[in-house]
Amino acid sequence: MQITFIAPFGLRQKTTVWARALPLARRLHEHGYRVTILIPPWDSPADAGQSWVDEGVRVVNVRLEGGLPLVLWRLWRHMQQEQPQVIHIIKPRAHAGLIHWLLWQRRRWAGTGPSLVLDVDDWEQAWADINQYAWPVARFLAWQEEWGIRHADAITAASKWLVDRAAHYAPQSPRLYLPNGVSEPDLSGFRKPDRSWRDAHTNTVLYYTRFVEIEPAWLADFWRTLQQQLEAVTLEVAGNALVAGRESAFKPAVDAETLPGNQVNWRGFVDQETQAQLYAAADCAIFPAQPVPLQEAKCSVRLATTLLHGVPVVASAVGQQAAFGADGAAQLVDAGATPADFAAAVTHLLAQPDKQTHMVERARQRLLAEFSWDDLGDRLAAFYATLLKKDG
């Protein structure tokens, strides 16, 4: 059986295709499916026209010349050549959303066609204010998202919040909770510090961010309170802003609160080597998040990766973070916790090396048992089988 994924963007800049669709596609190939991912690489144009096979999965980047109509035509032509039984739309937006619309219109006229499955791993409407979309663009994307959910034969969703939203718009459609997963990390050469010995001058807190999870004032208040509770501490801030310039409000707010002897290191984008160093040096990592749709909807690959690399985590119990951190895998803080509450949770965890060790072990066991890509791919294969049996 042929499964064809239609992506909304390329592999290089955003994480959805390489960190979600590709691991699922690899597992489907192991089940014996023929799997192709069709990509309009407008955000990674160097890939345009390139194709390759990744662990049995055919990855096709269509050419970009000629503008939107020709890019859509190339995606359509490749899709027709595949003759898939299932077309899995990755996000109800952009090129993928338009192909979804065309497929549905063809079905209306022809009365037949492949099964259409829609994958949602974010709530696109929640990005409108952050991305400062013009009203017509925001309205179109909202329509595209809601229309896509209503016009799919089945829906896969990366968070329980998204499962509920899909049920609201399409109560009759089959839905599969399909969070982002993990694979056994390559920890060769990776050494964690001995957590049985602590010193007041060795507190290093890692914060991976895209500068959309909380407001600058929240982080500044947290940092001020944390320094009052710990004798000396370093805050490592890693990650680029998803929207250019958003970090500019965070840096002065946080730096203004930094006391002598403490420091904040603004790392920006970090490569794999630097990431390994940050994980090895961190005494804990923090994942604060506001209880708003943007954060409720998403499924953080970074949180799971950090846990799997042996870093104790303090996280807001918001959305999928609560699922990843449940059963003692992370120190969860109430969704509405104040910056002072969050700082107190960090201080409390740093004072308990035995608890840190237990959390690290529990997180690894739980993630590999409940969120492995192999298991998630198996669930998706079973979902397809049920869908095709129903349609057949």
Domains and CATH numbers, the chain: 2-181+372-391 (3.40.50.2000), 203-370 (3.40.50.2000)
pLDDT of amino acid 392: 61
H or E, element range at 285:
strand 284-287
Q: How many CB atoms lie within 10 A of CB 93?
A: 21
The number of helices, as runs of H, and strands, as runs of E, in the chain is 16, 14
pTM: 0.91
DSSP 299: -
Check if the beta carbon of residue 318 is closer than 8 Å to that of residue 295.
yes
Quick one: tokens of 80? 């027709």
pLDDT of amino acid 212: 94
Q: Which amino acid is at 356?
A: Q
What CA–CA distance (Å, rounded) separates 12 from 8?
Answer: 12
What CA–CA distance (Å, rounded) separates 385 from 288?
Answer: 39
The better pLDDT of the pair 24, 12 is held by: 24
Q: Which of 372, 291, 363 is nearest to 324 (CA)?
A: 363
Quick one: tokens of 334? 């109430």
pLDDT of amino acid 192: 56
Per-residue pLDDT band at 357 (split at 50, 70, 90): very high
Q: 222-245, pLDDT tens digit by residue?
A: 999 999 999 899 999 999 987 878
pLDDT of amino acid 244: 79
End-to-end CA distance of the chain, in Å? 14
